[in-house]
Amino acid sequence: MSRLSMMVALAVAASPAVAHVIPGPCGTDEHIQCAIYDQNEVYEVATASGKAAMIQLEPGEFIEDKGAGMGDGKAWDAGSNKNWILIKPTQVRPDTNLMIATNRRTYTFSLVTAKRGQPTTWVLRFDYPDTRAKEAADAAKKRTLADSIGKSASALSLHRNDAYSKRGDDALAPTAVWDDGLFTYFRYATGRDLPRIFTILPDGAEALANYHMDGDTVVVHEVSSQFVIRLGNSVMGIRNDGYSPDGMYNAGGSTVPGMVRITKEQGK
């Protein structure tokens, strides 16, 4: 053997073999195949005369306009819609390659004639590590947010203010009043008609408070120094004795003549 022939032989022997990814069965049927997506891999699609194959991509993924190219297009029937492409060989030796570009990824396929005993590909689907990683990150963010909200709620409960006084028609008196620094809670643990609750603005005007119901409790979406409760011609004033514009809690209780301190679960 000449030196040149030997060098060529060694070079061929040292060249790595082309290794395509051969998808495996997703479940019990070997014709329904799955593979893990990697943009640097070539995926083998095993076909046979008279058999169609569908390549199915991720939901929400779609093939770009002119985003599919085939080496030997004359040997295949092909069609696509949104996130799938359907291919079927029309010639005896149709082996070629297929490139797909989508709004999210690029794919490379080797379309080959199935070897003896090799299952043909009827459907090829992918598992997407990047999507799973994003879903895991989103779930972690949601858990962190939920934990943060829970901690905030716990912190607010530690600063519960029960220092409220009332004056007016006792028929409108709530069973209990308190706030957590964010919302004000008016509990009515009776079957009475619920009154309307107004907050007193800095200029003395009344504004109907925004609220929602939580069981037997009216949850007003603010903390105010004063509220007015009205039902028909009946009126009751509610004063927040723990309120201060600078956020400091006033633990001194009621100091205004005519005001009666509302204690926990007091309804009369």
Q: Which amino acid is at 212?
A: H
Task: Point out which residues pair with 161 in neighbouring strands.
Answer: 179
| Mean pLDDT, residues 232-246 taken together | 86
Task: Write down the H helix ranges in the chain.
Answer: 3-14, 129-157
Residue 30 domain-assigned?
Answer: yes
Residue 203 domain-assigned?
Answer: yes
Residues 163 and 63: their CA atoms lie apart, in Å, by 64
Whether 123 and 168 share a structural domain: no
Residues 187 and 160: their CA atoms lie apart, in Å, by 15
Whether 66 and 123 share a structural domain: yes
Residue 247 domain-assigned?
Answer: no
pLDDT of 221 higher than 80 = yes
pLDDT of residue 160: 85
Range of the domain at 208: 164-240
Determine what percent of the chain is predicted with pLDDT higher than 70. Answer: 80
Whether 29 and 119 share a structural domain: yes
Residues 123 and 41: their CA atoms lie apart, in Å, by 18
CATH for 202: 2.60.40.2500
The count of other CB atoms within 10 Å of the CB of residue 220 is 21
Helix then strand then coil, in percent of the chain rounded to 5, is 20, 40, 45
pLDDT of 14 higher than 50 = no
CATH for 61: 2.60.40
Residues 239 and 225: their CA atoms lie apart, in Å, by 6
Whether 75 and 123 share a structural domain: yes
Residues 107 and 100: their CA atoms lie apart, in Å, by 5
| Counted domains in the chain | 2
At 76-119, the pLDDT tens digits run 999 988 899 999 999 988 999 999 999 999 999 999 999 999 99
pLDDT band at 245 (very low <50, low <70, confident <90, very high): low
Residues 225 and 243: their CA atoms lie apart, in Å, by 6
Residue 50 carries which DSSP code?
A: T
